Amino acid sequence: MGHGPLSGYKVLDMTQFESGTVCTETLAWLGAEVIKVERPGLGELGRPDPVEKGKDTYGFLVMNMNKRSITCNAKDPDGLALLKKLVAEVDVFVENMGPGSCDRLGLSYEDCKAINPKIIYASLKGFSQEGPFKDYPAFDPVATHTGVMASVTGLPDQPIKAGISVADSGTGTQLALSIIAALLQREREGIGQRVDVAMQDFMICFSRSQWEPYYANGGKPNRRVGNGMPLEDVAPSGTYPCKPFGVNDYVHIYCQRRPSSPNWDDLCDLMGHPELKQAVCERMSTPRKRFLVKDEVDALITEFCAKHTKYEVMDMCAKADVPCGAILDVDDITKDPQYVERGLLVDIDHPQRGKVRLPGFASKMSEVTIDYKPSPALGEANQDVYGGMLGLSEDEIKKLKDKGAI
């Protein structure tokens, strides 16, 4: 454990579910020694599979690689005393419990700073701890709905929530970035600090492009346009079915809204309709004019796409310099060897689940090679951490275990 740019840094990890665990997984991939604290017997709330009893969820596997696990009942005085000893040993403390939980446990920033003045104390919540919603619990959709995204996603009369946990994984990544920045500041200035990030706040900042139409339209709420172009009524912008018309056999094609863009002309050549090019066909001579005959434009593209698979359309469009993306689902990606070959997907051998292929760290760094390890078994590092790091004897560890403190 602990080889990489963050090697030597220790993280006490009281995270759960996706948001917080993604943060600490990122730190672990980059080499930090991440010690995940879990409830004795049960583990983190996201660990137990509700259907396959006794097994860890695949979600736990994908969000907790490269970590170590210890068990500790933070509500037992002996358990809390152990956690406080660990706070003294680590560089970073990370948590994403419900509002006020850490304070109630006796592990607030002030508590931890009193033990370790240079600690980086990182909290992830649904809402800002300084705002009126500070006591509200939150899962991902709560943040995507209160943080702009749902207001601009979907159809005009039907907001739709995102299909992936943008707020969870996004906020976790933002927290990891902030922790690394705080560690750099500590190196230079010798100070620890508190780092707070709220999922709603992350989503608001992640939605930054929405302020362009907001001001351009005189401060009115931004519209939902399905697969259309949200900033401007232009065509084409759509998602079109392809052969063999399975559930995810679609491509998205968008020709730039900039009137001088050659995208439409290139697409016309590709589709075999040079008579519709901008210099020839007045009705289709600008992106906005094409929007007025959008049904006709979409029908032409639909007819073209229906003759090919999504991969063929994507390839032909790219070669013709037309922006186009096939819908690639998890199965498409898991079975395509290119992602494993370039190290984006990694094959993990998990003791309970066998060989599983999961996404790793998205960046490539020329001086970093990540050694991926499976998520830990519950309490697998108790002996190492309590015995090695805190110096407890076998007998002391057994007594703590017998009374349910660890």
Ligand X SMILES: CC(C)(COP(=O)(O)OP(=O)(O)OC[C@H]1O[C@@H](n2cnc3c(N)ncnc32)[C@H](O)[C@@H]1OP(=O)(O)O)[C@@H](O)C(=O)NCCC(=O)NCCS
- Residues labelled as active-site residues: 168
β-sheet bridge partners, residue 123: 95, 196
Rounded to the nearest whole angstrom, what is the least distance from the CB of residue 11 to ligand X in the complex? Answer: 15
Could you say which residues in the range 279-318 bind ligand X, by CB under 6 A?
none
Nearest to 174 by CA among 193, 194, 197, 192: 197
Are 168 and 19 a contacting pair, CB within 8 Å? yes
Q: Is 348 in the site for ligand X (CB under 6 A)?
A: no
Rounded to the nearest whole angstrom, what is the least distance from the CB of residue 71 to ligand X in the complex? Answer: 8
Residue of the chain from 64, 96, 174, 237 that contacts ligand X (CB under 6 A): 96
Are 151 and 112 a contacting pair, CB within 8 Å? no
Residue number, 91 or 168, with CB nearest to ligand X: 168
Could you say which residues in the range 168-187 bind ligand X, by CB under 6 A?
168
Nearest residue to ligand X by CB is 98
Q: Is 39 in the site for ligand X (CB under 6 A)?
A: yes
Stretch that binds ligand X, among 12-20, 109-117, 271-279, 304-312 (CB under 6 A): 12-20
First CA to last CA distance, the chain = 22
Rounded to the nearest whole angstrom, what is the least distance from the CB of residue 31 to ligand X in the complex? Answer: 24
Residue of the chain from 37, 166, 235, 378 that contacts ligand X (CB under 6 A): 37
Residue number, 313 or 378, with CB nearest to ligand X: 378
Q: Is 403 in the site for ligand X (CB under 6 A)?
A: no
Nearest to 38 by CA among 59, 8, 17: 17
What the block records as the tokens of 362 is 């998205």
Stretch that binds ligand X, among 112-120, 136-144, 214-222, 273-281 (CB under 6 A): 136-144
Per rule CB under 6 A, count of chain residues that contact ligand X: 24
Residue of the chain from 6, 11, 12, 20 that contacts ligand X (CB under 6 A): 20
DSSP 239-290: EEE-BT--TT-EEEEE--SSTT-SHHHHHHHHHT-GGGSTTT-GGGSSHHHH
Rounded to the nearest whole angstrom, what is the least distance from the CB of residue 358 to ligand X in the complex? Answer: 18
Q: Is 385 in the site for ligand X (CB under 6 A)?
A: no
Residue number, 94 or 235, with CB nearest to ligand X: 94
Residue of the chain from 61, 72, 301, 317 that contacts ligand X (CB under 6 A): 72
What the block records as the tokens of 18 is 């996706």
Residue number, 327 or 389, with CB nearest to ligand X: 389
Residue number, 138 or 176, with CB nearest to ligand X: 138
Which three-class secondary structure state does DSSP give residue 48? Answer: strand
What the block records as the tokens of 182 is 């705080």
157 burial via Cβ count (<10 Å: 0-12, 13-18, 19+):
exposed
Where are the extended beta strands (E) located within 47-91?
68-71
By residue count, the chain amounts to 406
Rounded to the nearest whole angstrom, what is the least distance from the CB of residue 360 to ligand X in the complex? Answer: 20
Q: Is 73 in the site for ligand X (CB under 6 A)?
A: yes
Residue number, 170 or 238, with CB nearest to ligand X: 170
Distances (CA, A) of 328 to 88, 249, 254, 331, 336: 46, 8, 17, 8, 10
Alpha helices, DSSP H only, in 90-133? 101-105, 109-115
Q: Is 25 in the site for ligand X (CB under 6 A)?
A: no
Q: Is 159 in the site for ligand X (CB under 6 A)?
A: no
Question: Could you give the CA distance from residue 271 to residue 302 in angstroms, rounded to a whole number?
Answer: 10
User: Which residues, 6 or more positions from 330, have their beta carbon under 8 angstroms from its beta carbon?
Assistant: none
Q: How would you classify the pairing of strands 10-14 and 33-38?
A: parallel
Stretch that binds ligand X, among 84-92, 95-103, 245-253, 322-330 (CB under 6 A): 95-103
Residue of the chain from 8, 42, 88, 104 that contacts ligand X (CB under 6 A): 104
Half-sphere exposure of 242 toward its Cβ, with a 13 Å CA cutoff? 21
Which three-class secondary structure state does DSSP give residue 106? Answer: coil
Could you say which residues in the range 208-267 bind ligand X, by CB under 6 A?
none
Q: Is 125 in the site for ligand X (CB under 6 A)?
A: yes
**Cβ-based neighbour number of residue 283 at 10 Å:** 12
Rounded to the nearest whole angstrom, what is the least distance from the CB of residue 137 to ligand X in the complex? Answer: 4
Rounded to the nearest whole angstrom, what is the least distance from the CB of residue 149 to ligand X in the complex? Answer: 15
Residues near ligand X (CB under 6 A) are: 17-20, 37, 39, 45, 72-75, 96-98, 101, 104-105, 124-126, 137-139, 168
